[in-house]
Copies of this chain bind each other. A is one copy, B any other.
Amino acid sequence: MQEVPETNTANEKQVTPQSDARAPAPVPAVMPNVVIVGAGFGGLHAARALRNVPVDVTVIDRNNHHLFQPLLYQVATAVLSPAEIAAPIRSVLRKQKNTEVLLGEVMGVDTQAQRVLLDDDQYVPYDYLILATGARDSYFGHNDWAQCAPGLKSIVQATAIRRKILQAFEMAERETDPEKRKALLTFVLVGAGPTGVEMAGAIAGLAHKTLVSDFRHIKTEQARIVLVEALPRILMAFDERLAKKAQTALNRLGVEVRTNSPVEAIDCDGAVIAGERIPAKTVIWTAGVAASPAGEWLGAETDRGGRVKVGSDVSVQGHPNIFVIGDTASFTQDGKPLPGVAQVAIQQGQHVASVIADRVAGKPHPEAFRYVDKGNMATVGRYYSIVSIGKFRTAGLLGWVMWLVLHLMFLIGFRNRLVVGFQWLVYLTTFQRGARLITSGDEIHYQ
């Protein structure tokens, strides 16, 4: 076995790297510790940008994988397997000698002692801290809705939604009561942002194409897919003309779009939308997110969504060595807060890495962070996406090709790119989906 330190002092790395054949060239004895919490887009890009900076980097995540969230809806609708949009964080960072990865859940931050508290009461000391802990579902004060209307943030949620959707068809096949059968074949999506729109299109494809010849007692084509939105229109992040085109495309796919329709109640047999009860065994929450509890850990000032207000260098007021990035940060640019999208997290992660690199080198870092909007896209079923890049707008097949190419490019790992590309090819040509698995909800628990 390796040598392990006998004692733990607060401002020393908890487990000192052993010396072995794989160790890099000698480095100064004490390098500043950079701790990154969360290996989503922001955290992972910050870590990568620190690869050649003379610091020790520790990436902490409660999952062992980086998740490519933009394609999570395809896991929830049985097109892709979870592993195809996930990459082990260790594996992604394995060649980065100054970086280690810890699987663990962060419980808090001791800003006085400069250390991060983990779930097993261990501490990880830091000189610089980057919190990239993302967002979670927010039910606007109705947390009781969560049990019946799951959100789509993690692999566990995605496979639970996949099970829910596939099981609804199976139960409908065995149901003899027409009303109950109808409720089983009704799918309600609450919230018409990109995730809601993409889920609606994917469920429509499942019901109207993939499953059509598989059942004997139900016509899956008759499944009803309802996309509801409290605001006057769908896809508020896009301009009105593109959103209108997306809505028309949704209608063509057989999706009912209801705008100006706030959800008033949700239970496990349906939802009340703008005064009308829709019996539905499957309700999926694609509406609101709130920031992770990073603001509470720091006792920092947050906005209404719980996001930590950060300054021009993305650091937290009063804590120049603590940075909050991505969905957990509230950064105001040109008078407006930046949206919770991957590009903001990535650019902030890279900026923070450069700030730290300059500070470690004793150089000033004069430039404030500035987000460069690289555009926005959403896909509506097969062969149709809307794309908005600068002043360029397109809707349809061209947009879909752009969507396809960009998503394959940004997926991490050569293998995943090829497998996802192949799964899409088969899906697009045969309608058959690669991951139509109902795995038991009675997950076995082992110690």
Binding site for B on A (CB under 8 A): 1-2, 4-5, 15, 17-18, 20, 22, 63-65, 81-84, 86, 88, 90-91, 94-95, 100-104, 120, 122, 147-148, 150, 154-157, 159-160, 163-164, 166-167, 170, 173-174, 176-178, 181-182, 211, 213-219, 222, 268, 415, 418-419, 422-423, 426, 432, 434-447
Q: Which of A65, A102, A447 has the most CB of B within 10 A?
A: A447
Task: Please state if B446 and A148 are interface contacts (CB–CB under 8 Å).
Answer: yes
**If the complex has contacts A94-B213, A440-B156, are A181 and B218 also in contact, measured as CB distance less than 8 A?**
no
Choice from B20, B86, B441 contacting A437 with Cβ under 8 Å: B86
A447 — nearest CB in chain B belongs to which residue? B268
Task: Please state if A65 and B437 are interface contacts (CB–CB under 8 Å).
Answer: yes
Number of copies: 2
Q: Whole-angstrom distance from the CB of A61 to the nearest CB of chain B?
A: 11
**If the complex has contacts A82-B439, A103-B170, A439-B159, are A447 and B4 also in contact, measured as CB distance less than 8 A?**
no
Task: Please state if B446 and A91 are interface contacts (CB–CB under 8 Å).
Answer: no
**If the complex has contacts A81-B84, A170-B103, A419-B419, are A446 and B441 also in contact, measured as CB distance less than 8 A?**
yes
Rank and list the top 6 A-B pairs by shortest CB-CB distance, nearest first: A443-B443, A83-B435, A90-B214, A81-B81, A103-B170, A100-B216
With the chains together, A65 CA to B164 CA distance in Å?
15
Task: Please state if B434 and A83 are interface contacts (CB–CB under 8 Å).
Answer: yes
**If the complex has contacts A1-B222, A176-B4, A268-B447, are A439 and B156 also in contact, measured as CB distance less than 8 A?**
yes
Question: Which B residues touch A90, using CB under 8 A?
Answer: 211, 214-215
6 examples of A-B residue contacts, CB within 8 angstroms: A64-B438, A147-B446, A419-B419, A419-B422, A419-B423, A441-B445
A4 — nearest CB in chain B belongs to which residue? B176
Task: Please state if B441 and A443 are interface contacts (CB–CB under 8 Å).
Answer: yes
A95 — nearest CB in chain B belongs to which residue? B213
Q: Whole-angstrom distance from the CB of A37 to the nearest CB of chain B?
A: 15
With the chains together, A34 CA to B351 CA distance in Å?
67
A222 — nearest CB in chain B belongs to which residue? B1
Question: Which B residues touch A439, using CB under 8 A?
Answer: 82, 155-156, 159
**If the complex has contacts A150-B446, A160-B443, A214-B91, are A174 and B102 also in contact, measured as CB distance less than 8 A?**
yes
Question: Which B residues touch A15, using CB under 8 A?
Answer: 174, 176, 217
Question: Which B residues touch A154, using CB under 8 A?
Answer: 440
Question: Which B residues touch A167, using CB under 8 A?
Answer: 103
Task: Please state if B83 and A160 are interface contacts (CB–CB under 8 Å).
Answer: no
